[in-house]
Structure 1
Amino acid sequence: MNKTILDALKKIEEDYNVKILYACESGSRAWGFPSKDSDYDVRFIYVHPTNYYLSIDPVGVGKKRDVIELPINDLLDVSGWELTKALKLFRKSNPPLLEWLRSNIVYYEAFSTIDRMKTLSEVTFIPSSCLYHYLNMANKNFREFLQGEQVKIKKYFYVLRPVFAAKWIEQYNEFPPLEFHTLLERIVPNGPLKTEIETLLKRKIAGDELELEPKVSMINTFLTEELIMLEAYAKSVSFHIPDPTPQLDQLFRNTLEEVWGFSK
């Protein structure tokens, strides 16, 4: 599969005249709970030649799109963000982007941009921004998928993981790990609840997630209580950092010089 993914990335570079700086796995494979039939969610960051940016129309306006998305098939979901889009989201401590940078499945990396972004992320992290992201995701999925008497196993993990991530931020004031098992080990003490979650995790990974079955009251109660507490906590905190724009502007210029040279 790695070769298939690398071939797709190479074709993107040729078809769109861009350079890919970084490509990784996102979603359930990066989170540590893929099913047997999970597809590959490949995400990447790319940069155009220098002259592309030297025009009166900024990237992201009109025909100058700031994303590249390949048609999704049963096996591959491939999409990427242009560098200035990525850096503007990075400035806001965008959690999906921060997850990409921390993915433990990296398909491709070139040049120094990503290493520099990782270093900057240590001083640009905004806990409140990430906290609200995970809390909103958890609330939405909880309302949409886990309110009936019959639920799908898979849906529990799309609520549990953002709840654990939000609790990690509350407890450690740092961006949470991607891996579900790491979050579970640190967030949930040993006992019946952890055992129940671990049992469901084994079933999901084994592919036992398609049929509806009675909801797990213990987990639903835990999620209800945690969401209430996290909502209260989120309202009580605020966090501000110095504007990192000058550093990100320089990072962008350095990338153009490193990748293309200013003469191109």
Structure 2
Amino acid sequence: MRAIPSSLDPFVVSEVDRRLIAASADHDVRIPWAIESGSRAWGFPSPDSDYDCRFIFVRRREHYLTLWPARDVIETALDKTFDVNGWDLAKTVRLITKGNATAIEWLRSPIVYTGEIAFRDALLALANDVVERGSIARHYLHVARQQQVGAATLKRFFYVLRPAVALRWLADHPQESVPPMDLPALLAESSVPRSVTEAAMELIAAKAVTRELGAGTPPVILTQFVTNELDRAERFESLAPERDPAVVRSLADSFFRTQVG
């Protein structure tokens, strides 16, 4: 599977591809999933946004049967354009079972450099079976609250708005635990008022042509929406777990064994 929008720089995409091939060869791993994260995948890039490629890698079975395991992260050289790194499957599965929304979001990215659909779908199915909705909601709530601390900028506001809309999406989909990754999809799939959606899309359009939005005041309609959603989501702080930890661990182990067998 590959899904590369025309808006991405072909030279940069080629370099990302090269780094993925090199990482696979240098570390003797399989990379069944490699996507774009960050503002480009979240749906609100700036002209100078860097490229944040994230990937999941799987080692050969014998590499997991050692007293001296290798690092569970692979990193490539970081610069102003490229940020390419990945997580071992074991690390990814453990984080998913703990309700880490970042690991789950990688599976919903609209930008895919390379991917095995069966692997993605199986890992998504596992996430739906083991993730606590409360953990996902708390993740987005805490991310938004953290971004509200410090100097307020329009750029930072996007990092508050997206989690707020994700919380609305979770409220609108009570049987699901894995929201879309990008802001436009979150808006389209939730009950956000049309006026809020229009204001958000206007702000996205402004960011797309501005290298640095800088300090500024977001539209009142958006700040009020964020305040309401975050306040409403406080209920998730005391939400008790619903999953049996033993069942969660068993499902996670079973999935992991199928991938390294």
Mark yes or no: TM-score above 0.5. yes
1:38 aligns with 2:39: no
Cα RMSD, aligned residues only: 2.1
1:241 aligns with 2:243: yes
- Per the alignment, in what secondary structure is the counterpart of residue 170 of structure 2? helix
1:130 aligns with 2:136: yes
Query: Normalising by structure 1, what TM-score?
Result: 0.84
The match for 1:19 among 30, 40, 56 is 30
Counterpart in 2 of 1:149? none
Cα drift, residue 200 of structure 1: 1.5
Cα drift, residue 117 of structure 1: 1.1
- Per the alignment, in what secondary structure is the counterpart of residue 31 of structure 2? strand
Cα drift, residue 247 of structure 1: 2.8
Residues 136-147 of structure 1 mapped to structure 2, 5 A cutoff: 136-146=142-152
Paired with 2:226 and 2:117, the residues of 1 have a C-alpha distance of 42
1:251 aligns with 2:255: yes
Q: What is the identity percentage for the equivalent residue pairs of Structure 1 and Structure 2?
A: 35
Paired with 1:198 and 1:245, the residues of 2 have a C-alpha distance of 41
Counterpart in 2 of 1:4? 15
Larger Rg: 1
| Per-residue CA distance 1:93-134 (angstroms, 9 max, x = gap) | 321111001111111124843332122223223100000000
- Per the alignment, in what secondary structure is the counterpart of residue 143 of structure 1? coil
Query: Normalising by structure 2, what TM-score?
Result: 0.85
Preserved CA contact (<8 Å) 2:168 2:192: no
Amino acid at match of 2:167: A
Runs (5+) with no aligned partner, structure 2: 1-11
The match for 2:225 among 203, 222, 226 is 222
Change (3 A) 1:215 1:181: closer
Paired with 2:222 and 2:117, the residues of 1 have a C-alpha distance of 44
Counterpart in 2 of 1:153? 154
Residues 1-264 of structure 1 mapped to structure 2, 5 A cutoff: 1-57=12-68, 59=69, 64-110=70-116, 112-146=118-152, 152-173=153-174, 174=176, 175-185=178-188, 186-191=190-195, 193-207=196-210, 209-214=212-217, 216-231=219-234, 233-235=235-237, 237-242=239-244, 243-257=247-261
Cα drift, residue 6 of structure 1: 1.4
Change (3 A) 1:9 1:188: same
Cα drift, residue 11 of structure 1: 0.5
Preserved CA contact (<8 Å) 1:113 1:251: no
